[in-house]
Chains A and B, each alone.
Chain A
Amino acid sequence: MTDAAQPFAPRDWGSHPPYLSPGYKSTVLRAPSKPLIPLRHTLSEMSGPVYGHDAIHPLDNDLTKNAVKNGEPQGERIVVTGRVLDEDGRPQPNTLIEVWQANAAGRYVHKVDQHDAPLDPNFFGGGRCVTDDEGRYRFYTVKPGAYPWGNHHNAWRPNHIHFSLFGPSIATRLVTQMYFPGDPLLPLDPIYNGAPEGARERMVADFSIEVTEPLFALGYVFDFVLRGRNATPMEN
């Protein structure tokens, strides 16, 4: 049996946030209230869209350059790199990673972001890349700022970068956020803490002096782990 015909391991609910997480107020009216219906994977779930390197423009993975109007973006330049793996440690090549984030002042270009922090004319905050044959990716950007939000009194989101990944199927689809080591806002953030203890720490990048580029950018390493394949083929 070819690998592509093997169903995927289940979503590990010990690793993912439950739908209802009352500390994060928006979940209260939006979380499904009835139990999920189990679904044995068919071709519909074992397949997924293919986006190759032709979907990517040369500057798409460099957020410090892909929106420059008249100068460099403000902020601390960083490089974020790592691999996309499955649970068995197998690299996931040719998978699309989409990214979006606030600027160094904590402001999104999104039209509904009303936070009183400056936009940066040279920073858009969106980009993408496709992993190479060893599952590696690399983004250049600036460290996003923290920003206040309305969840509770004096609520602030920690510094974070949003990531969207596909993997080989819609079953491996993942949208997540990457956080920074040592952020004092992490213990206070209901979104980060929505993920179970023991799993949420996987969303915190490692600082790396080896990845840091001298005189240029601080380096962070972040690996994504998508669902693996079931050990035994599906029986019909």
Chain B
Amino acid sequence: MRHGQTPSQTVGPYFAYGLTPEQYGYDMASTAVPVMADEDVPGERIRVEGRVFDGNGDVIPDAMIELWQADSQGRYASPADPRASNVAFRGFGRCGTGTDPKNRFWFDTVKPGAPAEGEAPHINVIVFMRGLLTHAYTRLYFSDEAAANAADPVLSSVPAERRDTLIARREDGPRGTIYHFDIRMQGDGETVFFDV
């Protein structure tokens, strides 16, 4: 007999002490934090940051973002990836938008390699918030990977006029390499979300 899937529900407004306690200053260790890679992890060090906007264009201050990514050689630290990664990199990060003065999310990580031939490097992004009864999946691609992006089968499945919503814009400056990635839940420039 097939069992029915347990329905999804919103994380609500009070997820912070349960899911991101260290970031929000609560007295419990976090399982996942915004600093995904320490200095020992090989790869190009990058920051990913952005904001989440609602249908009015207002910044959402109580969203939670999760990232799941491969290491710099494209390997996932997961039993599903037969190429066992030999670096200490879990590849999973979590950040709420409620602690930054501009309500940004931010992650310090390494730029992933392409997980498979023909795919462009990308980071899997999961979006949670009050008002989102079922979490939303999107992907982050890199603006300096134009050739790989053009060949990527998932990106190619997205209508051409919406692909830009998945491309993080690279900026090299005094703070290092930052990829800017805003998420728009509705309206002009609405981010592409996938039925994963």
Contact assessment for B80 and A168 in the assembled complex, using a CB-CB cutoff below 8 Å: yes
Of A30, A37, A41, the contact of B129 (CB 8 Å cutoff) = A30
> Beta-carbon contacts of A77-109 to B below 8 Å, as 1s and 0s?
000000001111100000010111010000011
Contact assessment for B119 and A31 in the assembled complex, using a CB-CB cutoff below 8 Å: no
Which 3 A-B residue pairs are closest in the complex by CB-CB distance?
A: A100-B18, A26-B131, A47-B78
Stretch at the interface among B23-31, B37-45, B102-110, B170-178: B23-31
Determine whether A148 belongs to the interface, using a CB cutoff of 8 Å to chain B: no
Of B91, B124, B195, the contact of A11 (CB 8 Å cutoff) = B195
Contact assessment for B5 and A170 in the assembled complex, using a CB-CB cutoff below 8 Å: no
A44 in contact with B122 given A96-B31, A199-B7 (CB within 8 Å): yes
Give CA–CA (A30, B118) in the complex, Å.
34
Give CA–CA (A227, B134) in the complex, Å.
14
A203 in contact with B9 given A32-B186, A39-B157, A39-B195 (CB within 8 Å): yes
Chain B contact residues: over half helix, strand or loop, or mixed? loop
Q: A194 — which chain B residues lie within 8 A by C-beta?
A: 9, 133
A-B contact count (CB 8 A): 252
Contact assessment for A17 and B133 in the assembled complex, using a CB-CB cutoff below 8 Å: yes
Contact assessment for B185 and A175 in the assembled complex, using a CB-CB cutoff below 8 Å: no
Interface residues on B, range: 35 or more
A33 in contact with B55 given A98-B19, A170-B68 (CB within 8 Å): yes
Contact assessment for A176 and B14 in the assembled complex, using a CB-CB cutoff below 8 Å: no
Determine whether B190 belongs to the interface, using a CB cutoff of 8 Å to chain A: yes
Contact assessment for B131 and A16 in the assembled complex, using a CB-CB cutoff below 8 Å: no
Interface residues of B in 91-143 (CB under 8 A from A): 91-92, 115-116, 119, 122, 124, 126, 128-137, 139
Q: Can you name 12 A-B pairs with beta carbons within 8 Å?
A: A15-B5, A17-B9, A29-B55, A29-B56, A39-B154, A44-B70, A108-B17, A124-B26, A162-B12, A164-B18, A170-B68, A170-B196
